[in-house]
Amino acid sequence: ETGVTQTPRHLVMGMTNKKSLKCEQHLGHNAMYWYKQSAKKPLELMFVYSLEERVENNSVPSRFSPECPNSSHLFLHLHTLQPEDSALYLCASSRDPSAAGTDTQYFGPGTRLTVL
């Protein structure tokens, strides 16, 4: 266990559904991240929050909406997704993103999302 938890672990949803992914970190870290991992592709950074402020948004479609109410919790709200959004969604946290180059990211177990 890395100290980063994610729920649900598996999610199947239709294109018209609205659902949310939850991430919680118990490491006292200041930054949290959402990544998308599709088969045979590198991890794609979606969003970065540092001290609850969004600092990175990598041209992610608006059907993905992040929320970071405090430094321990991160959500990814999903609505009107497409089948190509099916992937493993990983949450990560790190201590100090301002220490670029030395800040280690720790991953949660991921949510396997299937969009029908």
53 touching another protein, by CB under 8 A:
no
Residue of 42, 54, 48, 45 lying closest to 93 (CA atoms): 48
**Segment near another protein (CB under 8 A), from 17-25, 62-70, 71-79, 107-115?**
107-115
Among 41, 59, 83, 84, binds another protein (CB under 8 A): 41
Among 76, 78, 85, 110, binds another protein (CB under 8 A): 110
CA 106 vs CA 13, 39, 41, 113: distances in Å: 27, 21, 19, 20
Beta strand pairing call for 111-115 and 53-57: unpaired
Among 59, 62, 70, 102, binds another protein (CB under 8 A): 102
Tokens describing residue 18: 């609205």
Q: Which residue has the tokens 């609205």?
A: 18
**Segment near another protein (CB under 8 A), from 21-29, 36-44, 63-71, 73-81?**
36-44
Tokens describing residue 63: 């059907």
CB of 16 to another protein, least distance (A): 28
2 and 108 Cβ atoms separated by less than 8 Å: yes
Binding stretches for another protein (CB under 8 A): 2, 40-43, 45, 88, 90, 97, 100-102, 104-110, 112
